[in-house]
Each structure stands twice: as C-alpha cells, then as structure tokens.
Amino acid sequence: MFNHPTRRTTLLGLTAAIGAFPRIGPAFGQTDPLPSWNDGPAKQAIVSFVTRVTTQGGPDFVPVEQRIATFDNDGTLWSEQPVYFQFAYALDRIRVMSKDHPDWKDKQPYKAVLEGDHATLAALGDKGTMELMAATHTGMTVDAFGKDVADWMRTARHPRFNRPYSDLVYQPMLELLAYLRANGFKAFIVSGGGVEFMRPWVEKIYGIPPEQVVGSSGKVEYRLVGDKPELLKLSQIEFVDDGPGKPAGINRFIGRRPVFAAGNSDGDLQMLQWTTLNDGPNFAMIVHHTDAAREWAYDRTSSIGKLDKALDEAPKRGWLVVDMKSDWKVIYPFQK
C-alpha cells in the first residue's frame, strides 16, 4: 500500500531536478503513505500531527515508547452494517448449532434466527441479544472458539457485498495503521467487540498482534483435563469495553495514555476525551459514515454506531471528523 509508482519513478529518475518540483503536501520526496486519502484538510491534519510528534528536537516530539494509538474496530476499521459482524457470526452459528438443538425451532429468540425473521430480531433488545451471544460464545474452550471464528471468517459472506467479512476493512485505515507503525507508533484495537472474536484474525488483516487488542470479555475457567489444560468460556461477563469502559480498558491493558485515537460512535466518546483532554500533543479522529453508495450513511439516529454526542463535541475538542465520502478515495481494498 506504500506504492505510488508514478511519483516514485519520477523522483528516482529526476533527483537532480528535485528543486523544481512543486511541494505536494508534507510527504514530498517520499511515496505518499496515504494514497487512498484524498488530498485535503483531513489527510493534512494526520500527516501534520505525525510529522510534529516524530520531529526530533521539535516542540511536540513524542518519544517512541509513548506513541500509543488506539483504534475502535466496528465502524472505524471495518464496516458494522447491517449488523455488527460479531452478531452476524452469532446468527450463523445458531443456524449451525440448531441441528443439535431441535427445540430451537419453536423457541425465541432462536426461532427468529432460524426463520430469518428480521422484525423479531431487530426488536430483540439486550436480553434476547445476550442470550444469542451466550449460546454461541460460551461453553467451549477459548481454542475451539478461536478456530470456529477463523473458519467463519474464511467461509462466511457479507450479504451486501457477497465477500468475506474481512474484505470490508477500510483501505484508508489500513494505510493509516501502516503509516503510524512506520513512524514508531504501537497501535491497539480498543473495541466494544469481544476480544476472543477479534484475536484470531486481526494480525492477518490489520497487522495488529493479538496482544494489542483490548475488547469486551467473558470470564474463563482454567481446567486441567488429564494433562491437557483448557480455558473454558463461561457465560458471566467480565468486562465491557465500551463508552467509559474504553478509558478503563486502555488503563488496564495498556497502562499508558494514547496520543492518537480513532473512533466512529458515541461508544468512543470517552476514549477520545481520555486521549485529548491531556497535556502534550495528541490527536483524535472520528470516522463519519457519509457514503451510502460505497458503504453506509448513518450517524445521530442509528441503532448501530450512533454518532451524536461525539459529533457535537468534536469541534469544541478539535477532533478531526473524517467524511468518508469526500475524504476517502476508496473505501475497501477490493475497490482499489
């Protein structure tokens, strides 16, 4: 994703004439690290921040070990419509598991899943949703669950794009992750999603290792079965990494305050506050879903990824609001 052959070829061929080139943004003299971002204030703000904090001797220099960046996942690194992809996994899993649970065909909320009864599913509420999540996310070992998630990620297809869910990651955000990494940042995912659901695939898809994933979690129980140790996933919730839980999760797992944070919904509000209402250089951005043609458009009234308070707070706090429609040249890697 760092290839930008035209400019690179030109520069390599004409280094003697370099002084005659117009200055094209701060990345002049290098390949563009963010080729899927349209030139404009959003891209400029990001490049300017990264340049400032990595300029040794500059007033805003941040030592490498303090370059912590935190990214929400759903709606920030990949899509979250028409349902959170983890919930799509749960629904698929209910269908697979139903062959061992004949009673489910007459029992809600399972019945609605098996019949594709979207109206009932949409009206499930927390209790019904949690029941489906518990049925599909607990009672097995962590290893078995991870394998099943990895299988699903390989085989399941997103209903709108008929592609693996992991194809619905945002190309501009992949470039941003790589750009930050190349500049000494350590990027963490800080998601309301389940940590066990993300770990099997984040390294391959985002280049973020499993130990840099903070998420919601259920309790696990350690058991030694013969000479084989297991961690059994229990139904009790351990930690909800959303809203005010995000600064708590950042503190618990990372133990440093981020200097860069990206989110897309009110569930990220406190993470953005925690990152920016702080001395020293920092940066926060909101991915605003404005592109119904290429992705989805939603914000203040959406049941998924509701963005209301954080959108109001953004100008006051100086948070960058990224307009997907106008700021992003492409949305998904397969559109390149």
- In the complex, which residues of this chain contact a copy of itself (CB under 8 A)? 65, 68, 142, 186, 188, 195, 199, 203, 209-213, 217, 219-222, 224, 227-229, 231, 238-239, 244-245, 247-248, 251-256, 270, 273-274, 277-278
Nearer to a copy of itself, 41 or 209 (CB): 209
CA 231 – CA 219 distance, rounded (Å)? 10
Quick one: 107 or 252, whose CB is closer to a copy of itself? 252
Q: How many helices (H) and strands (E) does the chain have?
A: 13, 7
Cβ proximity to a copy of itself: between 171 and 276 the closer is 276
Quote the DSSP letter at residue 27. T
In the bound complex, what is the minimum distance in angstroms from residue 140's beta carbon to a copy of itself? 14
Q: Is 293 exposed, middle or buried (0-12, 13-18, 19+ CB in 10 A)?
A: exposed
Residue with tokens 């759903």: 74
- 166, two tokens: 């992991």
- Which residues make Cβ contacts (< 8 Å) with residue 281, sequence separation at least 6? 49, 52, 53, 60, 62, 259
Task: Say which residues have a Cβ less than 8 Å from residue 179's Cβ, sequence separation at least 6.
Answer: 33, 34, 46, 50
Closest contact distance (angstroms) between CB of 133 and a copy of itself is 18
3-state SS assignment for residue 7 = helix
CA 109 to chain centre: 28
Least distance (Å) between residue 9 CB and a copy of itself: 34
Identity of the residue, 103 or 222, whose beta carbon is nearer to a copy of itself in the bound complex? 222
Would you say 109 or 258 has its CB closer to a copy of itself?
258
Q: Choose between 26 and 146: whose C-beta lies nearer to a copy of itself.
A: 146
Nearest approach in angstroms of CB 65 to a copy of itself is 6
Minimum CB separation from a copy of itself for residue 242, in Å? 11
Angle between helical axes of 142-155 and 195-206 (0-180°, round to 10): 50
Paired tokens of 258 = 């981020």
Nearer to a copy of itself by C-beta: 268 or 295?
Answer: 268
CB 210 to a copy of itself: min, Å: 3
Which lies closer to a copy of itself via its Cβ, residue 40 or residue 209? 209
Q: What are the φ and ψ backbone dihedral angles of 299, each rounded to 5 degrees?
A: -160, -90
Cβ at position 252, least distance to a copy of itself in Å: 6
**For residue 86, is it left (φ>0), alpha (ψ between -120 and 50) or beta?**
alpha
Residue 176 to residue 302: CA distance in whole angstroms: 26
Report, in Å, the least distance between residue 196 CB and a copy of itself.
8
